[in-house]
Chains A and B, each alone.
Chain A
Amino acid sequence: GNSVTQMEGPVTLSEEAFLTINCTYTATGYPSLFWYVQYPGEGLQLLLKATKADDKGSNKGFEATYRKETTSFHLEKGSVQVSDSAVYFCALSGLYNQGGKLIFGQGTELSVKP
Chain B
Amino acid sequence: DSGVTQTPKHLITATGQRVTLRCSPRSGDLSVYWYQQSLDQGLQFLIQYYNGEERAKGNILERFSAQQFPDLHSELNLSSLELGDSALYFCASSVGAGAGTGELFFGEGSRLTVL
Contact = CB atoms under 8 A, between A and B. Distances in A.
Interface residues on B, range: 20 to 34
A103 B33 CA distance: 12
Contacts of A46: 103-104
Interface residues of A, number: 26
B109 interface: yes
Contacts of A44: 43, 90, 92, 104, 106
Interface centre among B90, B106, B109, by most chain A C-beta atoms within 10 angstroms, is B106
B108 A42 contact: yes
Given A43-B4, A43-B106, A45-B106, A100 B98 contact: yes
B99 interface: yes
Interface in A62-91: 89
Interface of A: 31-32, 36, 41-46, 49, 51, 89, 92-95, 98-107
Interface of B: 2, 4, 31, 33, 42-43, 45, 48, 50, 55-56, 58, 90, 92, 94, 96-109
9 contacts: A32-B100, A43-B2, A44-B92, A44-B106, A49-B103, A100-B48, A100-B100, A100-B102, A105-B42
